[in-house]
Amino acid sequence: MKLTDFESAMLAGEFGEPRRQAMQQLVSVGSFFDAGDMVEVSQAHIMGDTESLGESGVRYLEALAAYPEEQRRVAVPTLTDPRGVDQAKYRGLKQRSSSAFLELRAVSALRSLGILMTDTCINYQTFQAPIPGQHVAFGDTGVVIYTNSICAARSNFEGGPAALAAALTGRTPRYGYHLDGNRRGTCLFELDFEPADFAEWGALGALIGSQAGSYWAVPVVQLKATPSSDDLKHFGAAMASYGSVALFHLPGITPEAPDVASVFDGPPPGTHLLRRDAIETYYRSFERHEDRVDVVVFAAPQLSLLEIQQLAELLEGRRVHEHTALVVATNPEVKAAADRLGITGIIEEAGGMLLSGVCFYQMYARELGQANGWVRLLTNSAKLCNIITGYGYRPAIAPMEVCVDAAIRGRM
Amino acid sequence: MEDRVFYGHVGIGKKVSGVALVAKDNFSARYDLDREKGLFSRSSHRLHGESYVGKIVILETAKGGVATAWMLAEMKSRGMAPAGLVLNLSNPVIAQGAAFAELSFIDRFAVDITSVVRSGELVTLNPQSGCLVVHAERTWTESSAGM
């Protein structure tokens, strides 16, 4: 790879060991993907929950935190993905105190690197959405696909170590979605229906992601509907989860796709027509928990303030069944707004729990389920359905209204 | 029977040998594994119930999720990682995780690698040359790993 003098100096250790290690990792990954050089990034976003980090990852962060400040501080504004524990609520969820302690150690180390502990996978809805053409190094696949597709900024999926390396150096290898040529459409989808709610948007993303099938596919989707930010959040997060897809185009809606013809090199490929019955088939691929629902989860991605308001309106004046838990996850900023606006109180009076700075599947989900006896899980998140079976749950998916009704009745 | 040799893209990590664990399915450490027990835990995964520890795991492509990048190093720190990983096509997260964990890894072969190697075969993975050797012998020796 061609490196600038500054990048070569970082690689030689002239700016300290943390930046040397970071550059070494970036060069290794860049060489793997045949990157010609590095690109400067203006922001980073790091996934670093302790279930993923483990003891070894936390020790790695603590070792970085022990270096002098001028060597360890990140070079660009850097945000964090959700954590594994809500320190105010973990005891009520029967999470281990050892997990909470490991989280405190990780947070302390990350803070000492100058990282902003935003603990969110909806930074684009909460803090600052990137602008078209901006190069960033974001973790969380839902964040990346929204950043690339809706914001028309440029990021690859950056796993925690790579995002941290980008944060320390202000660089990432120039490959994948930093390059114009990889942002062209590769497959075309058309719908004969309009998704009706977040669950259907997620299901649609799941179907397209599954068909697209790889990180390097760029689906182009012709919509009849005009989606909201939350619709596209569920759509993109599910597509990224099921297909490892990092970019899609919506002709007439997303910035890089004024029309179908302009996003393909050459004539558009044949159209995959998706009918509503494909959504119903997707729903039927999961069980229906007609005897009992153990836990109803609204998360993955974290909820926006508008989603939480909608949920609170459905819960107001009702009471969650004694055998069922209702768990909602958002970030600290949205939680504070919900507290201030009286929305949290409505959810809690109904027996629900609004968690801050976490997301369900990142919360030591296996231990969480075992400690609380949660197996039959209901959610409106297709992304969560895809992830959570590996943790021993039996998920089902339904619209928010159906999920709330099931939480009240204790069954679907 | 002679050794079969397959070339992919130059990869990441050191030369390593082990028993292959192969499936026409995809990979995510978060979605698919019980990392405490060292098993594929996702019920719909074609390797469900199989131990991956110390094996050369050969699969199709990466699933979504960025957690694998930290998790490979965490698994390795406890001696609960695969010996190596081979995919037909990687995404950035697996490559980043392999680089961080110093886990041997290759992708981008001229053939569908999941269809030409069988579980239980002895293989040697050489990321520096992008080479995967499937040994004819059932027992690996230094001489049989020459590439």
Does residue B49 sit at the A interface (CB-CB below 8 Å)?
Answer: no
Distance CA B59, CA B24 (A): 6
CA-based nearest distance B126→chain A, Å:
14
Q: Which residues 120-139 of chain B have a CB within 8 Å of chain A?
A: none
3-class DSSP state for residue A292?
coil
Does residue B42 sit at the A interface (CB-CB below 8 Å)?
Answer: yes
Yes or no: domain A5-178 corresponds to CATH 3.30.499.10:
yes
pLDDT in tens, A222-269: 998 889 999 999 999 999 999 999 999 999 999 999 999 999 999 999
pLDDT for B138 equals 67
Helical (H) or strand (E) element with A298: strand A295-298
3-class DSSP state for residue A105?
helix
Distance CA A179, CA A25 (A): 20
Distance CA A75, CA A115 (A): 10
Q: In percent, how much of chain A has pLDDT > 90?
A: 98
Domain range holding B10? 4-144
Mean pLDDT over A132-151 rounds to 98
pLDDT for A326 equals 98
Query: Which numeric CATH code is attached to A288-409?
Result: 3.30.499.10
Closest CA to A358 of A87, A77, A111: A87
Distance CA B19, CA A12 (A): 38
pLDDT in tens, B34-80: 999 999 999 999 999 999 999 999 999 998 889 999 999 999 999 99
* CATH 3.30.499.10 segments of chain A: 5-178, 288-409
Does residue B93 sit at the A interface (CB-CB below 8 Å)?
Answer: yes
Mean pLDDT over B93-109 rounds to 97
Total domains in chain B come to 1
User: Which one of A28, A156, A161 has the shortest CB-CB distance to B70?
Assistant: A161
CA distance readout (Å), A155 to A44, A75, A123, A130? 10, 17, 14, 10
CA-based nearest distance A284→chain B, Å:
15
pTM score over 0.80: yes
CA angle A79–A81–A82, rounded 5-degree value: 135
Please list every residue in chain A whose beta carbon sits closer than 8 Å to the beta carbon of residue B39: none
Hey, what amino acid is at B131?
A: C
CATH number assigned to the domain comprising residue B126 = 3.50.30.10
pLDDT for B64 equals 81
pLDDT for B144 equals 47
Hey, what amino acid is at A325?
A: A
pLDDT in tens, B1-29: 799 999 999 999 999 999 999 999 999 99
Distance CA A83, CA A408 (A): 28
Q: Do A57 and B66 touch (CB under 8 A)?
A: no
pLDDT class of B146 with cuts at 50, 70, 90: very low
